Amino acid sequence: MTKVCVKCGITAESSFFVKSSCKTCVKEYRAAYYKTNKDKAIAQMQKWSETNRERSREIKKKWSDANPEKQREAIAAWQVTNKERFDESKKKWSAENSDKLRTHCINRRRKLSEGTLSLDIVNTLLVRQSGNCAGCGKSLNGDYHIDHVLPIAKGGSNTDDNVQLLHSRCNLIKAAKYPWEVKFPS
């Protein structure tokens, strides 16, 4: 079924219409309205987003997936214009997610090596090692480094099965040595 646009007079399929206007005319009208009533339009969009959170998230995700480059540019622009808020939120996230941050940093540094660590590897290792250092056997008490059992410098992989938690002191003693080459303090 075809319709005629009341604004521009174009004839098209009914799926190309919003009420009695074609989608092109509606888009132009909305752009002009936004330009002349920016504050009001933003307030309306925010109100709609708050009352339709799930739908709003779906729309934003769909747009982000379809426009990854624009998404990166928008995030970078926001970070520049909101430097204090960005730095504050980054510090807060880092404090709340120190294990994930530590794992992320290791993965980033090890991109040239084979494999990546899962984000929850620290919790997995704490349970597996009963909260103790794999070197000296004493309780870690939050003082630990993620160590590669077979050092990456000697061909080891950056995978979950090749890491352990050591006290920072034990890890500095071990450095890039094989486990059997190290005598840990008792």
Cα 37 to Cα 73: distance, rounded to the nearest angstrom: 25
Model confidence, pTM: 0.45
- pLDDT tens-digit readout, 92-104: 999 999 888 888 8
Provide the residue ranges of all domains of the chain, joining segments of one domain with +.
Answer: 1-51, 53-96, 114-181
Least confident of 18-27, 52-61, 98-107: 98-107
Instruction: Domain 114-181: state its class.
Output: alpha beta
Q: What is the mean pLDDT of residues 105-117?
A: 71
Q: What is the mean pLDDT of residues 78-84?
A: 93
- pLDDT tens-digit readout, 133-153: 999 999 999 889 999 999 887
Which helix (H) or strand (E) is 60 found in, with range?
helix 53-66
Q: What burial class does residue 19 get, using C-beta atoms within 10 Å of its C-beta: 0-12 exposed, 13-18 middle, 19+ buried?
A: exposed
Return the pLDDT at 15. Answer: 86
Q: What is the mean pLDDT of residues 79-105?
A: 90
